[in-house]
Amino acid sequence: MSTAKSSTFRAINLIGDYWLLLLMREALLGATRYNEFYKRLAITHATLSDRLKRLVEGGLLTKSANADNTNGPEEYRLTDMGRNCYVVLTMIRQWHQRHPDLSGVEWLQGTFVHSECGHAFEPRLACATCGAEVHADDVSSKPGPGAGIEPVVTMPVQRQVKVRKTGAERSISGTVGIESDRWSIMIMAACFSGISRFGDLRERLLMSPHTLSNRLSLLTSQKMLTKRAYSSTPKRYEYVLTAKGKDIYPIVASLMQYGDRWLSSDGPPMLLQHNPCGSSLSAVLQCSACMSPVGLEHLVFGIQ
């Protein structure tokens, strides 16, 4: 089975999983050893081994012998591709700050400081050309040089995750939020690209009707989408982004940009234009204090 090429979907397939996101967060905050990840997260050994392997295979981490002591524990180090996830992770954390009720992940409380200007700030996604904050309504799209079709990647998708109970390896199930549920983010990404009808979403995402109905119910109950009838006989519905739903756009846009940069060797499948300035959109993480782009080397996060 094939579907239209999408950098956003490629990025979601790479990191759009509850534990992968949390492991990348901890790696960006400095964790390098297996036991550090294990202690910081309520993850079981089986899941931790599996996800670290996936991050190494995906090119986000490298596994190497400890530099100081070759008999010591192995270290997981971020690659350039891994470090560049910071924009996606920061956008997820900012979205969670605005909508804590929708998120199932404990995203960290703390303050971002921009070390270049020295100010505490709220990170936001901005157009690199004009500096304006990126909003879904200001962006239009057209097919890019990498457009086409590709085979569908199938992955297990569940909203339930196993969470380790403190101490022992007994685990309980938890439900993940929209930002770490692969299907929910894929539906939202499809809606931003202009797909709104049930049948079209099903064709684009190749989801089972049951799973698609389930996630659409979830997204409408959380007021991310509204359901609107576009045909009365037979009764057919389309799903329209609400203002609250559009607020997740910085996550989707940063996933797409990440996929364009690291996962699209044949060029971006889709090109975005920032309509207020007319330039092709290159989005950067911007400091709200000095309005400059913030690189990872100047992003300091103090945990409260």
Shortest CB 61 distance to Zn ion, Å: 29
Nearer to Zn ion, 3 or 282 (CB): 282
Give 109's DSSP letter.
P
- What are the DSSP calls for 216-229, one per residue? HHHHHHTTSEEEEE
Q: How far is the CB of 137 from Zn ion (least distance, A)?
A: 13
Q: Is 263 helix (H, G, I), strand (E, B) or coil?
A: coil
- State which residue, 25 or 114, has the beta carbon closest to Zn ion: 114
33 vs 135 by CB, closer to Zn ion: 135
In whole angstroms, how close is the CB of 254 to Zn ion at the nearest point? 16
Minimum CB distance to Zn ion, residue 132 (Å) = 5
Residue ranges binding Zn ion (CB under 5 A) = 114, 117, 127, 129-130, 274, 277, 287, 289-290
Q: How many alpha carbons fall within 13 Å on the CB side of residue 192?
A: 32
Minimum CB distance to Zn ion, residue 268 (Å): 17
What is the rounded distance in angstroms from the CA atom of residue 266 to the CA atom of residue 10? 13
Nearest approach in angstroms of CB 200 to Zn ion is: 30
Nearest to 255, CA basis, from 165, 168, 192, 172: 192
If the CB atoms of residues 63 and 119 are measured against Zn ion, the closer one turns out to be 119
Crossing angle between the packed helical segments 182-192 and 249-262, to the nearest 10 degrees? 90
Pull the structure tokens for residue 1.
């089975």
Pick 220 or 292: Cβ nearer Zn ion: 292
**Coil vs helix vs strand at 219:** helix
Residue 232 C-beta-side C-alpha neighbours within 13 Å: 0
User: Under a CB-based contact definition with an 8 Å cutoff, are residues 245 and 116 in contact?
Assistant: no
Query: Cα(first)–Cα(last) distance of the chain, in Å?
Result: 47
Whichever of 105 and 287 has its CB closer to Zn ion, that residue is: 287
